[in-house]
């Protein structure tokens, strides 16, 4: 921390100390916080001040107030007081018992994780797997199948192209390597991932289905120390640095948490449950909205109802999987239109249909209560900006209210 001229004011909130002062030039007011037992890099709040700035805490925010030097006008800056680490390592700052189940967290995820495409009704993402990892995504929905001898990413019957263009495809082995490299990085050793794997090509052919399962199992065996392939919900302690498998393909024997046969494809009820021995998996996956002219608000209503169920469930081991993704193909409404919204028509500058993602951001910024909201799988989660931050901030708000 640099030497200061005057005006030091300190306030504590959520077990974090914040300080404001006038820097030694007497020009700017700077704000800093204690992080990992050291003062973090300062940031400028404003200035020059007439008198000593004051810092105060209100509703998990720090407010720095001062008078402008010349006019005496009241000035202020508001700063989030939650001690949230960079999103690529948000799990490392969790302050909860490691005996808690992973199902007690709100976990951001992506639907059709690898589906980067401009082809109609295929594309669901623009962020690469690496970008998703660094943005705080921790649940990955992998759809795959064989193209020749290679196991590659699919969305439906469409093989997803790789970075090499139309002559390349996204190989699942490469995706698994990205997961492994991320978790083996020293700063990510306390993170965990949940990976759901589904066969999207050749699933109706018994021989192809068997071949698919053998190929996935072989890939997992190559880095078996990283994978959790048991059928039970792990604790945070067991999950750290690991990948929990959710299996949506047939397999004789135990290989991850099995949801294959009991998954109701495009279930049009509010949700469905898959009972296990001492927990349940509760899924909202109504993705084809057909002729629904109110598809965006109706889809958000399904998502919100599932979040509410997760938040109110007293059984901490129960898993809630909640797809915020959908299409309305009969209306030519694609996944991006559902996710982020779109104009009523290309020529309409006034009317805009709000998507699911902006509604989610508004909920997590303004209305979320303490408690978890399950696993939320999104298309284009980087839009609108700070959606992922809003979700993750809620986790830390919940944890601080329990301190």
Q: Are 94 and 231 in contact (CB under 8 A)?
A: no
- Residues 403 and 399: their CA atoms lie apart, in Å, by 6
Contact 378, 324 (CB under 8 A): yes
How many Å apart are CA 54 and CA 203, to the nearest integer? 64
User: Given this model, what pLDDT does residue 400 score?
Assistant: 43
In the predicted structure, residue 267 carries a pLDDT above the cut 90: no
**What band does 255 get if pLDDT is binned at 50, 70 and 90?**
very high
Look-up of token digits 């990948």:
243
Q: How confident is residue 332, by pLDDT bands cut at 50, 70 and 90?
A: confident
| DSSP H helical ranges for 54-161 | 129-134
Catalytic residue among 155, 161, 286, 342: 155
Instruction: Please say whether the dihedral angle defined by the alpha carbons of residues 299, 130, 212 and 195, taken in this order, is positive or negative.
Output: negative
Three-state DSSP class for residue 276: coil
Taking alpha carbons only, the member of 76, 51, 50, 47 closest to residue 61 is 76
Task: Please confirm, yes or no, whether 111 is among the known catalytic residues.
Answer: yes
Q: How confident is the model at residue 269 (pLDDT cuts 50, 70, 90)?
A: confident
Q: For 375-396, what is each residue's pLDDT tens digit?
A: 999 999 999 888 999 999 888 7
Nearest by Cα to 227 from 209, 244, 202: 244
What confidence category does residue 120 fall into, taking pLDDT thresholds of 50, 70 and 90?
A: confident
- Helix, strand and coil content of the chain, in percent to the nearest 5, comes to 25, 30, 40
**32 pLDDT above the threshold of 70:** no
CB-based contact 213:247 (threshold 8 Å): no
Catalytic residue among 35, 111, 174, 342: 111
How far is residue 391's CA from residue 373's CA, in Å, rounded to a whole number? 9
Average pLDDT over residues 99-125: 95
How open is the CA angle 124-127-129, to the nearest 5 degrees?
100
**Both tokens of residue 261?**
């046969």
Print burial letters for 319-332: b (CB count within 10 Å at least 16), e (below 16): bbbbbbbbbbeeee
pLDDT for the residue 296: 86
What pLDDT is stored for residue 55 in this prediction? 77
Query: Is 35 an annotated catalytic residue?
Result: no
Q: Does 206 score more than 60 pLDDT?
A: yes
């Amino acid at each position: 921390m640099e030497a200061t001229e005057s005006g030091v004011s300190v306030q504590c909130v959520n077990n974090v100390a914040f300080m404001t002062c006038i820097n030694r030039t007497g020009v700017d007011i700077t704000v800093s916080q204690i992080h990992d037992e050291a003062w973090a890099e300062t940031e400028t709040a404003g200035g020059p001040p007439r008198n000593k700035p004051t810092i105060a805490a209100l509703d998990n925010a720090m407010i720095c107030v001062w008078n402008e030097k010349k006019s005496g006008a009241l000035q202020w800056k508001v700063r989030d007081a939650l001690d949230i680490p960079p999103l690529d390592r948000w799990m490392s700052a969790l302050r909860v018992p490691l005996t808690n189940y992973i199902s007690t967290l709100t976990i951001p995820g992506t639907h059709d994780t690898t589906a980067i495409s401009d082809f109609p009704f295929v594309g669901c993402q623009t962020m690469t797997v690496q970008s998703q990892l660094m943005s705080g995504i921790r649940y990955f929905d992998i759809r795959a199948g064989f193209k020749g001898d290679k196991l590659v990413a699919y969305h439906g019957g469409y093989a997803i192209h790789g970075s090499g263009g139309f002559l390349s495809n996204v190989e699942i082995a490469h995706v698994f390597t990205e997961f492994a490299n991320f978790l083996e990085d020293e700063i990510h050793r306390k993170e965990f991932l949940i990976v759901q794997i589904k066969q999207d090509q050749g699933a109706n052919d018994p021989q192809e289905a068997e071949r698919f399962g053998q190929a996935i199992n072989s890939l997992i065996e190559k880095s078996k120390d990283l994978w959790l392939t048991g059928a039970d919900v792990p604790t945070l302690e067991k999950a750290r640095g690991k990948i929990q498998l959710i299996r949506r393909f047939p397999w004789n024997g135990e290989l991850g948490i099995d949801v294959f046969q009991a998954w109701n494809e495009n279930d049009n009820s509010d949700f469905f449950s898959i009972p296990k021995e001492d927990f349940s998996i509760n899924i909202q996956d109504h993705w084809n909205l057909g002729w629904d002219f109110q598809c965006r608000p109706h889809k958000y209503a399904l998502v919100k109802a599932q979040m509410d169920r997760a938040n109110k469930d007293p059984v901490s081991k129960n898993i809630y999987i909640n797809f915020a993704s959908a299409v309305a193909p009969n209306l030519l409404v694609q996944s991006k239109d559902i996710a982020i919204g779109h104009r009523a028509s290309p020529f309409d500058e006034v009317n805009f249909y709000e998507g699911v993602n902006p509604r989610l951001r508004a909920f997590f910024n303004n209305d979320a209560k303490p408690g978890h909201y399950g696993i939320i799988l999104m298309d284009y989660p980087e839009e609108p900006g700070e959606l992922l931050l809003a979700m993750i901030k809620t986790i830390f708000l919940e944890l601080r209210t329990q301190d």
